[in-house]
């Protein structure tokens, strides 16, 4: 069987004891001859910081919301890339200048992270409608992309000079051919021809360990 697990708030939990138990359960799952896959919005650099030994825990990893699939030997299995010209157009729209943190036309501070398969914008802003207007403006360009959004509040993460902002949010810009569900289906076909049962654990599930032990 193939276990495909979301990472944030699913495999990785704020409670360190639950997180440790989840990791132990994943190891037992693989020791029983099953396959384990992490599905995450993070890229290589970020995941290596959060979970440095991820290669020893899983067989495959789906990164950038389905933009790239790697084996635990860092072999690239599949990728959906944004073209360089499209990346330049998106940068031009959302940033006044090509710097890691800049001031946008939408009057909110932006942190920009780029890979070949996704663009991530972290925005600190004053009101939620302003954030929504950023998303709508990008989607209105009719580019071959998907724009995924996530909103939160965290006063401690405000960048320098953004003391009046009160919210933060993420916009993940990925190719239309990308997506977590799409990547899971593609990986399942590649490694098993859909003959293996695939168990998908998303962020609505609190303890992966409980799910794993019910299937062992």
CATH of the domain at 35: 3.40.50.1000
Residue 190: per-residue pLDDT: 84
| Residue 81 in tokens | 């890339």
Give yes or no: residues 123 and 145 share one domain. Answer: yes
CATH number at residue 112: 3.30.1360
Chain-wide mean pLDDT for the chain?
Answer: 79
Predicted local distance difference test score (pLDDT) of residue 105:
40
Statement to judge: residues 15 and 26 lie in one domain: yes
Q: Is the pLDDT of residue 103 over 60?
A: no
Mean pLDDT, rounded, for 155-161: 52
Question: What is each CA distance from 18 to 116, 153, 208, in whole angstroms?
Answer: 34, 24, 9
Same domain, 163 and 197: no
**pLDDT at residue 163 in the model:** 52
Domain identity same for 45 and 127: no
Same domain, 28 and 57: yes
Under 8 Å between Cβ of 108 and 130? yes
168 and 111 share one domain: yes
Comparing 105 with 129, the larger pLDDT belongs to: 129
pLDDT bin (cut points 50, 70, 90) of residue 101 is very low
Tokens found for residue 204? 């609505």
Whether residues 36 and 101 share a domain: the answer is: no
Strands 145-152 and 167-175: antiparallel
The pLDDT tens digits for 184-200 are 888 888 886 555 677 77
Where in the sequence is the domain holding 63, given as residue range(s)?
2-80+178-215
**Secondary structure class of 48 (helix, strand, coil):** helix
**What total of structural domains would you count in the chain?**
2
What's residue 145's pLDDT?
93
What is the pLDDT, as a whole number, of residue 106?
40
Q: Are 90 and 169 contained in the same domain?
A: yes
Residue 140 has pLDDT above 70, yes or no: yes
Angle between helices 16-31 and 208-215 (to 10 degrees): 20
pLDDT single digits (tens) 117-130: 888 887 766 666 76
Shared domain for 52 and 93, answered yes or no, is no
Mean pLDDT of 140-157: 77
Domain co-membership, 97 together with 62? no
pTM: 0.79
Q: What is the pLDDT of residue 32?
A: 93
> Same domain, yes or no, for 199 and 140?
no
Whether 164 and 185 map to the same domain: the answer is: no
């Amino acid at each position: 069987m193939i276990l495909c697990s979301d990472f944030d708030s699913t495999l990785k939990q704020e409670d360190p004891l639950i997180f440790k138990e989840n990791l132990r359960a994943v190891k037992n799952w693989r020791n029983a001859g099953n396959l384990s896959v992490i599905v995450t919005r993070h890229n290589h650099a970020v995941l290596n910081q959060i979970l440095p030994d991820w290669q020893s825990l899983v067989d495959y990893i789906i990164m950038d919301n389905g933009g790239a699939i790697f084996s635990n030997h860092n072999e690239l299995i599949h990728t959906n890339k944004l073209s360089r010209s499209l990346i330049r157009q998106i940068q031009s729209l959302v940033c006044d200048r090509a710097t890691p943190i800049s001031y946008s036309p939408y009057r909110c501070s932006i942190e920009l992270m780029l890979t070949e398969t996704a663009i991530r914008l972290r925005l600190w802003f004053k009101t939620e409608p302003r954030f929504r207007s950023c998303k709508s403006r990008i989607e209105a360009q009719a580019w071959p992309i998907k724009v995924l959004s996530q909103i939160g509040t965290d006063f401690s993460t405000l960048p320098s000079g953004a003391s009046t902002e009160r919210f933060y949010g993420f916009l993940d810009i990925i190719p239309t051919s990308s997506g977590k569900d799409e990547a899971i289906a593609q990986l399942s076909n590649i490694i098993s021809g859909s003959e293996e049962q695939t168990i998908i654990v998303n962020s609505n599930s609190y303890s992966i360990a409980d799910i794993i032990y019910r299937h062992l």
